[in-house]
Chains A and B, each alone.
Chain A
Amino acid sequence: ETGVTQSPTHLIKTRGQQVTLRCSSQSGHNTVSWYQQALGQGPQFIFQYYREEENGRGNFPPRFSGLQFPNYSSELNVNALELDDSALYLCASSLEGRSYEQYFGPGTRLTVT
């Protein structure tokens, strides 16, 4: 059984650019949630994907978008990056209906300059 993995570990982007972050879910998990964690804050829910469709969304603008693939892996895309997008991005996988038992990845640290 493999845990949740995320790539890349770190990256630096310039304001206005676009970025794609990747997440592989834990074996057998069909639901993926994405969170943004700013320094000194708790994780903030961005959205969740189940069966390749968005299954809930937090208070984030449309320039934050995602995809889920048939193997349940997922991508988070952020367009027109802003300085405030600098944060740790976490993904978490779970079984349908058991989001509370979500298994978190190590995160991707995004710095926008």
Chain B
Amino acid sequence: AQRVTQPEKLLSVFKGAPVELKCNYSYSGSPELFWYVQYSRQRLQLLLRHISRESIKGFTADLNKGETSFHLKKPFAQEEDSAMYYCALTSLGGQNFVFGPGTRLSVLP
């Protein structure tokens, strides 16, 4: 069965500290992995996808197929990074997205 887990409901870090939001998945086949973000009073939006291998707003995520993980990292957290982060997967080119329960990141001043 397809499943995405995010072990931390809430993660608090100080401004300037490194941040890592964990995501593990179970999927039979080759999934596409994504991170979505929802800032306060804004809509859910795509942050990054593993295929593009981009750094968006200083965030990166590497797909580790051996550990079935797709952790989101940023070396120096900013207060504006405070938001709800969701890890999600789908099949390659698919439309059936499976979202994790989300992690709320709070960056303290």
Contact = CB atoms under 8 A, between A and B. Distances in A.
Contact of B90 (A31, A55, A100, A104): A100
B2 to A, nearest CB: 10
A97 interface: yes
Interface string A42-65: 111100100000011110000000
Contacts of A84: none
Interface residues of A, number: 27
Most buried by A among B4, B45, B95: B95
Given A42-B100, A43-B97, A58-B96, A101 B43 contact: no
Contact of A104 (B32, B45, B49, B101): B45
B17 to A, nearest CB: 25
Nearest to A3: B43
Contact of B101 (A42, A97, A102, A106): A42
Given A100-B90, A104-B45, A41 B96 contact: no
Given A100-B34, A104-B43, A106-B43, A41 B101 contact: yes
A102 B46 contact: yes
23 contacts: A4-B43, A40-B101, A42-B86, A42-B100, A42-B101, A42-B102, A44-B99, A45-B96, A45-B99, A48-B95, A55-B95, A56-B95, A92-B44, A97-B93, A99-B90, A99-B97, A100-B32, A100-B34, A100-B46, A100-B49, A102-B46, A104-B44, A105-B43
Given A56-B95, A90-B44, 5 more contacts: A41-B102, A57-B96, A99-B97, A100-B32, A106-B43
Interface of B: 4, 32, 34, 43-46, 49, 86, 88, 90, 93-102
